[in-house]
Each structure stands twice: as C-alpha cells, then as structure tokens.
Amino acid sequence: MVLVDVNGEEAEKMLATRKIVVADFWAEWCIPCRAVDDALRRLSALIQNHDNISFIRINIDENPDFAAKHGVLNLPTVIVFYKGREYDRISGNISGIEVKIYRLIKQLLNSP
C-alpha cells in the first residue's frame, strides 16, 4: 500500500469503492504538508494487506473543485472517509497525526 496522487475524479471512484480512504489535501507550496506526506507514507507502509483501505493525495491547486466540495479551507488537511462519507478531519495541527489516523483506522476496521 502506498500514498497515491489522484485527481478529483479518481478520488471519487475510490470513495465509492473503498471502505476507508485517507485523503491528504496538499499543495506544492505548503511546507507543513511535507511532514504530513512523510507521516502518511510511514503509516501506509505499516497498514499493509488491507484491500479496503486507500491512502491518497489530492493537490488542491490542480483539483480546486474537489477540495471545495469537501470544504478544505486550510492546509494541511487530512480527511478520513468511511464508506464514502467523511468520518473525521485533521486540519492544521499535525502533531501526532500518525497515531490519530492509525487509531481511527483501527476503530473503523472493527465497525460493521
């Protein structure tokens, strides 16, 4: 499993077909986004062998409509989607983001 760059259309398809999608909204000019990128790459490497989980990155400068649709106003923003719907959002403060997202995923994997 890896952190994959996708456009809005590809992200929509993943939201429709995956149980859990961890979506990183970022921009090239966003310095804190780089730390989130590193954290999500480490986390996606830890959570292997789960076909229903995807880690994706959406560049907001290239996909402004998708970012607007999901109310992304600040960077970095990570949204955890469960069955196509927003379950939780981490925006701005990236302290402990790996642990927070890992706990969310474990919780969701145990949900019906």
The contacts of residue 47 (CB under 8 Å, 6+ apart) are 1, 53, 102, 105
**Residue 22: DSSP 8-state:** E
Three-class DSSP category at 110: coil
**Residue 49: DSSP 8-state:** S
**Residue 6: DSSP 8-state:** -
User: Catalytic amino acids?
Assistant: 30, 33
Peptide bond into 76 cis (omega under 30): yes
Three-class DSSP category at 28: coil
